[in-house]
Structure 1
Amino acid sequence: MKVIVLGAGVVGVTSAWYLAKAGHQVTVLDRQTAAGLETSFANGGQISVSHAEPWSNPRAPLRALAWMRREDAPLLFRPRWDATLLDWSLRFLRECTARRTRDNIRQIVTLALYSRRQLQALRAETMLAYDHLERGILHIYTDRREYATAMEAAAVMREFGCERRTVNVDECIAIEPALASVRQRLVGGDFTAADESGDAHRFTQQLAALCTARGVVFRYGVTVDRLSMVAGRVAGVIAAGELHQADAYVAALGSYTPLLLRLIGLRLPVYPAKGYSATFPLSADSIAPSVSLTDDGYKIVFSRLGQRLRIAGTAEFNGYNTDLNAVRCRALIERASELFPALRPADEPRFWCGLRPATPSNVPLIGRSTIPNLYLNTGHGTLGWTMACGSGAALADIISGRPPEPGFRFL
């Protein structure tokens, strides 16, 4: 079939790769000048099956209320009149029960494990190099109550196949010696040895080049205006006054997917969650982590990308605003300085923010929509890089008429 993929982020490009590999004729449309220039550009860099606990969990409502008074809060809902955010927030609250949280963890772990295997197979096949490290992910805790709660979530993940192993303070420092200077502040951690890290932007651009070699056509600088509908099916994509036609269409526009699809009557429970990052070039004598870390209490991750350190995290619900907030940027730097006082960056950090497409459950929307030839691959939230290869591979199976491998709740 001829397939048009809308969006050239990591999810769109992996979709294109697996569709082309399955024998389809693929065209990718994106408004940017190259692949991976929006949400995939400077994310946290983790392939983190261990990050499967959704934001919506039994503790979230009270914490979100308390955090509303903090400009640097890990999860920040900005009070504003926004009917879409109100509807999304009510759905979020419904997902905060223990039963729903457990089921959502199962969905996320199932897809993330499959995706990590697909990424590893792809890397072995193509020899892609994107500053990836296979050193696991260490979650650290400086609050005993937070640590105890996290251990409950980790136990659930282990039931579903994520080997998230509880470790004590000494083991934390043995895994990541750069934490030695804050030994007295740590209360424990957990370690997932099979998790990875890497530069999603480099990966996306290199995979796009391989897609091109396989025959995929990328049309950059093309803003999608609307979908043309005929007899209940998508008849084409209107972009820059031009009609692009195919047999099937994949909407992988991240947070912007619902804005396009509501024009044809589809309402998706996807809302932008703005995340921040700071990227440091490291000097030769920096004492910086080489194992990817997650500071669970602050919802911040640290990933080593060659001679750079990426610090990223938090979620701010403020519509489609992409302005950098100085307070939230500073919070990343201050936490890094607390944990790694001998960081010694070689230059000033490069700050970035991006809009992550979040569903209330953190479970992405993958599969065929209610329109027969329109498929979705969106809503991955903070796990777009983690789930990209698995989402693309599974969607290619669905479009090709094959049952997808993972036991995930596809559309």
Structure 2
Amino acid sequence: MHIIVLGAGVTGISTAWYLRQAGHEVTVIDRQPAAGLETSFANGGQISVSHAEPWANPGAPLKVLKWLMREDAPLLFRLRADAAQWRWGLQFLRECTPGRTAHNIRNIVSLGLYSRAKLRALRRDLGLDYDQRTQGILHFYTSEAEYEAAQEPARIMREQGCELDMKTPDECVAIEPALAQCRAQIVGGSMTPSDESGDAHKFTQALAARCAAAGVRFRYDTRILGLEREGGAISRVITANADGVVSRLAADRFVLCMGSFSRALARDLGVSLNIYPAKGYSVTLPVIAPQHSYQVSLTDDEYKLVFSRLGDRLRIAGTAELNGYDTALNLVRCEAIVRRTRELFPQMTDGQGAQFWTGLRPATPSNLPYIGQSAVANLYLNTGHGTLGWTHACGSAAALADLVDGRRPELDYAFTAATQQSALMQPKFAA
């Protein structure tokens, strides 16, 4: 079959790879001049199966209220006259029950374990290099209440097969000596030794090159204007190149991998996806004090920040701002990340040379991405990965390729299917 993949981020490129390996003719379309230049460009860098507790959890509503007026809040709802934002927010509240949280954790862990295994196989088979580190991820807590609240999610993750061990403050410092700079603040931690980190942008571009060598065709600098339907199926995608020349490209199947922009394109086809952009920030700093810089990837629970070492660069990322499709840098939020980094690691950086970036994460209320068939017969979905697009990219793509070919994927996950969809789609309970 000829399959067109809409979007060339880490999810779209991974999807193109697995579809091509399954023997399909594949074309990738993206408005950028190369792969991985939007949300995949400068994310936190973690392959984090352990980052499985969704934003929507029993403790979230009170936190959101507390953070509502704080410009530097880890999760900031900037309320707007936007029906999509309010629908998303109401569903978010429904996902905060203990039962829904446990269900979502199980799905997120299942997809994460599968995806990490697929990434490792790709790295081994293709010899990919993307500043990867395989030293695990250490999640540290500076609040006793948050550390205690983490025990039950950790138990559920372990039941699902996630290797996760709770640690004392001294054990945290033993794992990552750079934490000695903030030892007095740490009340405990958790370690997932099998988790990894790496540069998603470098990975995406390296895999795109392998896709091209394998015969995948790319149409960069090409805007997607819409999809034409004939009967109950899509017949063509309408595009415009950099010169404004409009084309109509036919295919047998189409896969939607456009992140936060998936919702608008799907809506025109009568498919409602509950995806809303969660604007995230990252700061990249040069390593100026190697002896005081972290080596192990870290997660700061209190400020919802992740820290990754990418060669001679330090990447710190986090926070989420629900404010529509605005991509302007907010210096208050940027500087809050640098300030927290200097509080934790005063000997590591002076904040000079910071490179700021922001991107729109395609968030669903449950944190579960849409993977599978849509209500339109030949339109498939691989979108809505939120903060875990890098973690889940390879597994989502491999599973999607199976679904396109009518095979059952090798994991238990709440895949979307045309028979499950309602007016406002949500990933359903796994079988």
- Is 1:242 aligned with 2:262? no
Per-residue Cα deviation, 1:77-100 (whole angstroms, up to 9, x for no partner): 002111000111111111000000
2:76 touches 2:321 (CA, 8 Å); kept in 1?
yes
- In structure 2, which of residues 387, 395, 399 is the aligned counterpart of residue 394 of structure 1? 399
SS of 1:51's equivalent? Answer: coil
Distance 1:285 1:292, change over 3 A: closer
1:55 to 2:55 alignment: yes
Q: Which residue of 2 aligns with 1:380?
A: 385
Residue number among 306, 318, 323 corresponding to 1:318 in the alignment: 323
**Distance between the aligned counterparts of 1:285 and 1:273, measured in 2?**
33
Count of matched residue pairs: 411
The reply on whether 1:226 has 2:226 as its aligned counterpart is yes
**Deviation string for 1:187-245 (max 9, x for gaps)?**
11000000000000000000000000000001100000000011011011000110011
Distance (Å, rounded) in 2 between the aligned partners of 1:329 and 1:156: 34
Given the superposition, is the C-alpha separation of residues 346 and 82 from structure 1 closer, same or farther in structure 2, using an over 3 Å criterion?
Answer: closer
Residue identity opposite 2:142 in structure 1: T
Counterpart Cα distance in 2 of 1:52 and 1:220: 34
* In the alignment, structure 1 residue 359 sits paired with structure 2 residue 339: no
1:119 aligned residue? 119
Shift of residue 345 of structure 1?
Answer: 6.0
Q: Which residue pairs with 1:327 in the alignment?
A: 332
Equivalent position to 1:305, from 297, 306, 310 = 310
Verify: 1:371 aligned to 2:376, yes or no: yes
Q: After superposition, what is the alpha-carbon deviation per residue over 1:285-305, rounded to whole angstroms, capped at 9, x for unaligned? A: 451111000001110000000
Please say if residues 27 and 216 of structure 2, whose CA atoms lie closer than 8 Å, have aligned partners that are also in contact. yes
CA distance in 2: counterparts of 1:318 and 1:334, whole angstroms: 23
Please list, as runs of the form range in 1=range in 2, the aligned pairs for 1:182-331 lying within 5 A after superposition. 182-240=182-240, 241-283=246-288, 285=290, 287-331=292-336
**Unaligned ranges ≥5, structure 2:** 241-245, 417-431
Distance in 2, Cα, partners of 1:323 & 1:297: 25
Q: Tell me the equivalent position of 2:135.
A: 135
**Structure 1 residue 63: Cα displacement:** 0.7
SS at match of 1:122: helix
Q: Is the 8 A contact 1:133 1:196 kept in 2?
A: yes
- Asked whether the 8 Å contact 1:303–1:310 carries over to 2, the reply is yes
Match of 2:409 in 1: 404
Q: For the Cα contact (< 8 Å) 1:110–1:407, is it kept in 2? A: yes
Q: Is 2:403–2:409's contact at 8 Å kept on the other side of the alignment?
A: yes
Distance 2:351 2:65 in 1: 39
CA distance in structure 1 between the partners assigned to 2:46 and 2:185 by the alignment: 24
Are 1:43 and 2:43 an aligned pair? yes
Question: Following TM superposition, by how much is the alpha carbon of 1:184 offset from its aligned partner in structure 2, in angstroms?
Answer: 1.0
**Which residue of structure 1 aligns with residue 73 of structure 2?**
73
State the superposition RMSD in angstroms. Answer: 0.9
**Inter-partner Cα distance in structure 1 for 2:80 and 2:13:** 34
Q: 2:182 and 2:111 mapped to 1: Cα distance?
A: 35
CA contact (8 A) 1:38 1:354 kept: yes
Unaligned runs of 5+ in 1: none
CA distance in 2: counterparts of 1:323 and 1:176, whole angstroms: 34
CA–CA separation in structure 2 for the residues paired with 1:327 and 1:346: 14
In 2: Cα distance, 1:148 partner to 1:69 partner: 26
Post-superposition, which runs of at least 4 consecutive aligned residues in structure 1 deviate over 4 A?
none
SS of aligned partner of 2:292: coil
Cα distance in 2 between the residues matched to 1:285 and 1:10? 30
One-letter identity of the residue aligned with 2:22: A
Percentage identity across paired residues of the two chains: 60
In structure 2, what is the Cα distance between the partners aligned to 1:203 and 1:367?
Answer: 24
- The 1:346–1:145 alpha-carbon spacing in structure 2 relative to 1, beyond 3 Å, is closer
**Partner Cα distance (2:363, 2:254) in 1:** 21
Equivalent residue, structure 1, for 2:420: none
Q: 8 Å contact 2:282–2:315 — kept in the other structure?
A: yes
The 2-side partners of 1:205 and 1:393 are apart by 18
Q: Which moved more, 1:262-271 or 1:44-53?
A: 262-271
CA, structure 1 residues 285+365, in 2 after alignment: closer, same or farther (shift >3 Å)? closer
C-alpha separation between the residues in 1 aligned to 2:290 and 2:46?
A: 24
2:13 aligned residue = 13
For 1:175 and 1:52, the matched residues in 2 are separated by 21
Structure 1 residue 344: deviation in Å? 3.2
* Number of the residue aligned with 1:93: 93
Distance 1:397 1:213 in 2: 22
What is the distance in 1 between the residues matched to 2:185 and 2:238? Answer: 56
Using the TM superposition, give the Cα deviation of residue 18 of structure 1 relative to its aligned residue in structure 2, in angstroms.
0.3
User: What corresponds to 2:424 in structure 1?
Assistant: none
Task: Say whether residues 1:350 and 2:319 are aligned partners.
Answer: no
Q: Cα deviation per residue 1:89-113 (whole Å; 9 max; x = unaligned)?
A: 1111110000000000000000010
Task: Report the TM-score, using the length of structure 2 for normalisation.
Answer: 0.94
Contact 2:253/2:380 (<8 A) preserved: yes
TM-score (norm 1): 0.99
SS in 2 for 1:207: helix
Q: Is the 8 A contact 2:338 2:351 kept in 1?
A: no
